[in-house]
Chains A and B, each alone.
Chain A
Amino acid sequence: MKTSEGTIDKMKRIPRDHKVRRFHQAKWDEPVIFELSQPGERGVEVPPVEPQIVETVGDGISQLPDSLRRKKRPNLPEVSQYRVIRHYSRISQEVLGSDFNVEIGQGTCTMKYSPKINERFVRSPKMAELHPLQDESTVQGMLEMTYQLDLYLREISGMDKFSFQPGSGTQALFTQASIVRKYHESRGEGEQRNEFITTHFSHPSQAATAAVKGFKIIYVPADENGYPDLEALKGLVSERTAAFAVANPEDTGIYNSRIKEFTDVVHAAGGLCCYDQANANGLLGITRALEAGFDMCFFNLHKTFSVPHACGGPATGAIGVTAELAPFLPGPLVDFDGERYFYNRDLQNSIGKVRSFYGVPPAVLRSYAWVRALGADGLKEVAEIACLNNNYLYHKILQIRGASAPYIQGRRLEQVRYSWQQLKEDTGVTTYDVQRRMVDFAHHYWTSHHPYVVPEPFTLEPTESYSMAELDEYVAALTHISQEAYENPEIVKTAPHNSTGHRVLESVLDDPNQWCITWRAYLKKTAQG
């Protein structure tokens, strides 16, 4: 701004009334790390070996027989430290984490604020530098937090004991299926009870993990309102029923108020009831697994309990069970004798283990800290505001031309599965097109899990972490895209326009002659001649 006499431009107020963000994602045209290699460079030096050690044992590697000595060095890149930092920092800028965008477009995943103080805790040596086989007396703080979080989750769910071993929701589902199998085996019905009943709105891992445990998967259809069909369930249960596994609300955000009748039907047939609580965020302090008749449930600590998602893990699926099923949990479990915390390894029917050691303790620490930051009232507030935000969003989205939310109308809990079926019929623009166009306005948008029971689906879950203004911004972007679809669909279909990259030619990724899963494969498959 000029300051010389007579030419001073006065600062003008910038209008901020544009509805969508003027955004362009960082695009660095960054090479793959191998292309940065400069022979002779290195990123770090390794700790030197003291001369007396060398004097005592020599070069160390002569111990290896010739057949096991590496013949040529691995073809890793040689890159100095600052260049490594710049490379990874640049590609990190080509990622929109939830610290950067209104991450409500990843429905079913409960993208919420991961408090920064918790990150400081887990990166402290007091957490990061613990070995899982240290003497119990040296990890009393960690054990205390684990034990206390167990108590809190019992309050939230009504279950009697939690294990934090499963490394994700998928592994928690697998653990549930493993417990179901072991339970029926322990009663001599292992072979007979081989059917696992679930729904199409459940996470794909629900069916997939039960299949790994050898169960036949049976789906309860949804009725016209989107509820699992109780009459259909009655026809499906039998002496072959091992378990019924369901989320409530399902990914539609519809709460099944007759859930207790469902669990009663399954129990009457001798099956167990497994509750997928990946969608628990709207229910904290409101309603629990126990009263609804479930024998087991799990919470994704990386969803409801604020552990960051970290590009896809590490995570934790804390699994809780009734007292009857506690001896089946993967061990060991943390207990308290009034003076000290210790590992209980005496689990008579334990399925063994599902993840190394005790799972992912940093996730336990973060969740413990999150619960303590909120207290009982705060947890309920989380649920209420998450549901309020969702219903606000739902109300606004139904006003967008071409959008709808199939099944029962009026209210939903913490998320909604929407449909662009009308938009597609009117304009030819699909949910995939909308997905790519949302990127141009700095928003992530996910379609939905397969199969697409709802046509042209998208699932949004706003959680408690986003302000009204941010919800409005997301709605504005969807509204804008809907308008574009009706006026100039090409701009949507050819998106993205402002992102880091353009449309990927996906056929290459499905062709064994062309797919390149590593850089060395790329070099081979694209060699000249």
Chain B
Amino acid sequence: MSVQRYAHPYIPNSAPEVKEKMLTEIGFSSIEDIYADIPEELRLKDKMNIPKALTEYELERHVNQLMNKNQTTKENISFLGAGCWPHFVPAVCDEINSRAEFVTAYAGEPYEDKGRFQALFEYQSLVAELVDMDVVNVPTFDWAQAASTALRMAARITKRTELLVSKNIHPDKLMIIKNYTSPDLTVTLIDFENETGRLDLNDLKAKLSVDTAAVYFENPTFLGSVEVNGQIIADLAHAAGAICVVGVDPISLGVMEAPANYGADIVCGDLQPLGVHMHYGGGQSGFIATHDDPTYVMEYPSRLFGIAPTEVEGEYGFGDVAYDRTSFAKREKGKESVGTQTALWGITAGVYLATMGPVGMEEVGQGIMQRSQYAAKRLSSIPGVEAKFAAPFFKEFVIDFSQTGKTVKDINAALLAKGIFGGVDLTEHYPELGQCALYCVTEIHTQEDIDTLVTAIKNIV
């Protein structure tokens, strides 16, 4: 056994005979010759402290053992939302997004990857119907990135530097926006009403100025409330010469009005609710939409896939619209930057919308509203437990436990012991609300799930 004849299954040319043959062909005596440019003092002398290789069978056992230390939202009843939501994923979505053609493709040209261009063009087109606008981009990293970019777009269009952002957005999203828009733009927060959770119009009026590039608010808000004053906010922004940017949960749009129809100039949101599993937060994927106005289109940093004729009549072709906008073409002189983002989730969201159709989107939206209202009502019937805001909501709502004398933390720990993941604890980011938690109820929750939660909380408080 002098020669190790081992070739790793992932590395065909690690077979010794092949290695020799290739080295001979190129006139090198050993692999070392290839690395001759790397000086001795930069060479890694020690062997890396990484465990020895596992065969596929060993790997499967090992990784499964680790994964079995996780408890899933399917094995428990979960009411966690806050930017990553449990929704029903039709099997069709999994089937298409696991096709090797899509999974293993990357940056092919319209000639060998025409299907990728078409699938993303269709995704853009399907989301466009939902938001009632004519332009949608190839997805960004997530909603936070989409919002950040929408705000930078607005600042470039208005040539102004101040961004007014409603305070009732996800705290993580706010951090992302702040980092993305600094140092040249400033973010000023607009308060929300304690009664309803909606944007405080007076605070908005006081803060609008000739420096305001954009007003950003969400509907529904992070705290769940439906923002009924959308048109008023948009009108105020426009009167000040600012752009109105609205963040939206797309699964609400089967029943809720599209923001374009109450004054939004730029709409953004997350695609994860549309057929993408939560993946521990890895399912997030952002979209941006605008009207088909060149002033707006030319400010997108993202790829925009368009449909176009080919040399052969009667054939669809696809390609990049206004590619010269992008950093791929112009580096630092392009709009922001573009690269790998979340294309596969975009294709998947397209499959979801095509599968659900207009009726499915209306039904799922209505079903969510019914279940979440039922849950809020039942929870509010528990002594000391009440819904925080007097406002309509879509799928999330804030439950106030202050009167129970118990902390959200204790309640959630007690719920966890019963196999229930309680609502997201808001006390750290919104201490002014008291002992409040954000509950998320969607079409995946049965009446039994909700009743189980209510009974458990009754017993805990």
Query: How many angstroms between the C-alpha atoms of A50 and B373 in the bound complex?
Result: 13
Report the minimum CB–CB distance from A52 to chain B (whole Å): 6
Binds B, one of A89-97, A268-276, A319-327, A478-486: A89-97
B343 with A59: CB separation less than 8 A = no
- Given the known inter-chain contacts A67-B231, A357-B172, please indicate yes or no for A141 contacting B68, CB distance below 8 A: yes
The residue that A78 contacts in the complex, of B106, B145, B358, with Cβ under 8 A, is B358
Tell me, yes or no, whether B240 is within 8 Å of chain A by CB. no
Across-interface contacts of B311 in A (CB, < 8 A): 502-503, 505
- Given the known inter-chain contacts A69-B256, A139-B280, A435-B109, please indicate yes or no for A504 contacting B308, CB distance below 8 A: yes
Tell me, yes or no, whether B153 is within 8 Å of chain A by CB. no
Nearest opposing residue in chain A for B374, CB measure? A53
The residue that A97 contacts in the complex, of B14, B78, B104, with Cβ under 8 A, is B104
Tell me, yes or no, whether A234 is within 8 Å of chain B by CB. no
B421 with A135: CB separation less than 8 A = yes
B341 with A117: CB separation less than 8 A = no
B373 with A60: CB separation less than 8 A = yes
- Given the known inter-chain contacts A84-B351, A84-B354, A506-B319, please indicate yes or no for A522 contacting B392, CB distance below 8 A: no
- The interface bits of chain A over 31-45 (1 if a CB of B lies within 8 angstroms of the residue's CB, else 0) are 011100000011111
Tell me, yes or no, whether B59 is within 8 Å of chain A by CB. yes
Across-interface contacts of A233 in B (CB, < 8 A): none
A117 with B112: CB separation less than 8 A = no
The residue that A464 contacts in the complex, of B11, B99, B139, with Cβ under 8 A, is B11
A169 with B228: CB separation less than 8 A = no
Report the minimum CB–CB distance from B175 to chain A (whole Å): 4
Query: How many angstroms between the C-alpha atoms of A392 and B312 in the bound complex?
Result: 40
Tell me, yes or no, whether A308 is within 8 Å of chain B by CB. yes
A355 with B361: CB separation less than 8 A = no
Tell me, yes or no, whether A155 is within 8 Å of chain B by CB. yes
Tell me, yes or no, whether B160 is within 8 Å of chain A by CB. no
Tell me, yes or no, whether A30 is within 8 Å of chain B by CB. yes
The residue that A152 contacts in the complex, of B50, B56, B139, B316, with Cβ under 8 A, is B50
The residue that A313 contacts in the complex, of B60, B336, B340, with Cβ under 8 A, is B340
Q: How many residues of A contact B (CB 8 A)?
A: 212
Binds B, one of A5-13, A415-423, A493-501: A493-501
Tell me, yes or no, whether B212 is within 8 Å of chain A by CB. no
Contact sample, A vs B, 19 pairs, CB 8 Å cutoff:
A53-B447, A61-B365, A64-B369, A73-B254, A74-B361, A94-B118, A95-B113, A134-B73, A155-B48, A205-B338, A210-B332, A286-B35, A306-B10, A311-B120, A313-B141, A356-B176, A362-B279, A520-B125, A522-B307
The residue that B392 contacts in the complex, of A64, A129, A467, with Cβ under 8 A, is A64
Across-interface contacts of B206 in A (CB, < 8 A): none
Report the minimum CB–CB distance from A512 to chain B (whole Å): 4
Tell me, yes or no, whether B342 is within 8 Å of chain A by CB. yes
Tell me, yes or no, whether B230 is within 8 Å of chain A by CB. yes
B105 with A138: CB separation less than 8 A = no
A381 with B14: CB separation less than 8 A = yes
Given contacts A139-B280, A208-B336, 9 further A-B contacts (CB under 8 A): A30-B118, A73-B362, A126-B67, A131-B280, A139-B69, A286-B43, A306-B10, A381-B11, A464-B14
Report the minimum CB–CB distance from B364 to chain A (whole Å): 5
- The interface bits of chain B over 54-81 (1 if a CB of A lies within 8 angstroms of the residue's CB, else 0) are 1010011011101111111110101010
Across-interface contacts of A517 in B (CB, < 8 A): 124, 134-136, 292, 297, 304-306, 321
- Given the known inter-chain contacts A67-B228, A505-B311, please indicate yes or no for A374 contacting B374, CB distance below 8 A: no
The residue that B125 contacts in the complex, of A49, A368, A518, with Cβ under 8 A, is A518
- The interface bits of chain B over 117-159 (1 if a CB of A lies within 8 angstroms of the residue's CB, else 0) are 0111110111011101011101101111100000010000000
- Given the known inter-chain contacts A132-B278, A355-B142, please indicate yes or no for A509 contacting B53, CB distance below 8 A: no
Q: How many residues of B contact A (CB 8 A)?
A: 211
Query: How many angstroms between the C-alpha atoms of A54 and B366 in the bound complex?
Result: 11
Across-interface contacts of B34 in A (CB, < 8 A): 384, 387-388, 391, 411, 413
Across-interface contacts of A426 in B (CB, < 8 A): none
Report the minimum CB–CB distance from A529 to chain B (whole Å): 19
Tell me, yes or no, whether B38 is within 8 Å of chain A by CB. yes
Tell me, yes or no, whether A382 is within 8 Å of chain B by CB. yes
Query: How many angstroms between the C-alpha atoms of A447 and B311 in the bound complex?
Result: 22
B354 with A60: CB separation less than 8 A = no
B328 with A378: CB separation less than 8 A = no
- Given the known inter-chain contacts A69-B257, A128-B278, A204-B334, please indicate yes or no for A310 contacting B11, CB distance below 8 A: no
The residue that A135 contacts in the complex, of B106, B341, B416, with Cβ under 8 A, is B416
Tell me, yes or no, whether B388 is within 8 Å of chain A by CB. no
Query: How many angstroms between the C-alpha atoms of A85 and B93 in the bound complex?
Result: 9
The residue that A70 contacts in the complex, of B26, B116, B136, B256, with Cβ under 8 A, is B256
The residue that A170 contacts in the complex, of B124, B281, B339, B345, with Cβ under 8 A, is B339
Nearest opposing residue in chain B for A260, CB measure? B42
A351 with B179: CB separation less than 8 A = yes
Tell me, yes or no, whether A376 is within 8 Å of chain B by CB. yes
Tell me, yes or no, whether B226 is within 8 Å of chain A by CB. yes
Query: How many angstroms between the C-alpha atoms of A58 and B367 in the bound complex?
Result: 11
> Taking each of A52, A354, A387, which has the highest tally of chain B beta carbons within 10 Å of its own beta carbon?
A354
A139 with B176: CB separation less than 8 A = no
Across-interface contacts of A190 in B (CB, < 8 A): 183
A128 with B102: CB separation less than 8 A = no
A77 with B354: CB separation less than 8 A = yes
B111 with A505: CB separation less than 8 A = no
B73 with A56: CB separation less than 8 A = no
A68 with B226: CB separation less than 8 A = yes
Tell me, yes or no, whether B166 is within 8 Å of chain A by CB. no
A312 with B13: CB separation less than 8 A = no
B111 with A84: CB separation less than 8 A = no
Query: How many angstroms between the C-alpha atoms of A224 and B364 in the bound complex?
Result: 63
- Given the known inter-chain contacts A130-B278, A167-B141, please indicate yes or no for A450 contacting B257, CB distance below 8 A: no
Tell me, yes or no, whether B258 is within 8 Å of chain A by CB. yes
- The interface bits of chain A over 291-315 (1 if a CB of B lies within 8 angstroms of the residue's CB, else 0) are 1100000000010001011111111
- The interface bits of chain A over 126-151 (1 if a CB of B lies within 8 angstroms of the residue's CB, else 0) are 11111111110111111011000001
Report the minimum CB–CB distance from B135 to chain A (whole Å): 5
> Taking each of A33, A208, A354, which has the highest tally of chain B beta carbons within 10 Å of its own beta carbon?
A208
Report the minimum CB–CB distance from A64 to chain B (whole Å): 6
Query: How many angstroms between the C-alpha atoms of A264 and B138 in the bound complex?
Result: 41
A436 with B360: CB separation less than 8 A = no
A74 with B141: CB separation less than 8 A = no
Across-interface contacts of A43 in B (CB, < 8 A): 90, 92, 354-357, 360
In B408-461, which residues have CB < 8 Å from any A CB? 412, 416, 421, 424, 443-444, 446-447
> Taking each of A53, A88, A91, A127, which has the highest tally of chain B beta carbons within 10 Å of its own beta carbon?
A88
- Given the known inter-chain contacts A76-B129, A131-B421, A374-B53, please indicate yes or no for A286 contacting B308, CB distance below 8 A: no
Report the minimum CB–CB distance from B310 to chain A (whole Å): 4
Query: How many angstroms between the C-alpha atoms of A285 and B272 in the bound complex?
Result: 38
Report the minimum CB–CB distance from A89 to chain B (whole Å): 7
- The interface bits of chain B over 352-383 (1 if a CB of A lies within 8 angstroms of the residue's CB, else 0) are 01111111111111111111011001100000
Report the minimum CB–CB distance from B89 to chain A (whole Å): 9
- Given the known inter-chain contacts A56-B374, A73-B254, A376-B52, please indicate yes or no for A465 contacting B101, CB distance below 8 A: no
Tell me, yes or no, whether B1 is within 8 Å of chain A by CB. no
Nearest opposing residue in chain B for A47, CB measure? B443
Report the minimum CB–CB distance from B156 to chain A (whole Å): 12
Across-interface contacts of B72 in A (CB, < 8 A): 125-126, 129-130
Nearest opposing residue in chain A for B339, CB measure? A170
Nearest opposing residue in chain A for B327, CB measure? A208
Query: How many angstroms between the C-alpha atoms of A392 and B33 in the bound complex?
Result: 13
A74 with B175: CB separation less than 8 A = no
B38 with A255: CB separation less than 8 A = yes
Report the minimum CB–CB distance from B85 to chain A (whole Å): 9
10 interchain residue pairs of minimum CB distance = A357-B281, A170-B339, A132-B281, A94-B115, A43-B355, A141-B69, A97-B104, A375-B53, A60-B369, A208-B327
- Given the known inter-chain contacts A92-B115, A174-B337, A411-B33, please indicate yes or no for A214 contacting B183, CB distance below 8 A: yes
- Given the known inter-chain contacts A63-B373, A520-B134, please indicate yes or no for A170 contacting B111, CB distance below 8 A: no
Across-interface contacts of A100 in B (CB, < 8 A): 100-101, 104
- The interface bits of chain B over 296-330 (1 if a CB of A lies within 8 angstroms of the residue's CB, else 0) are 01000000111111111001111111111001111
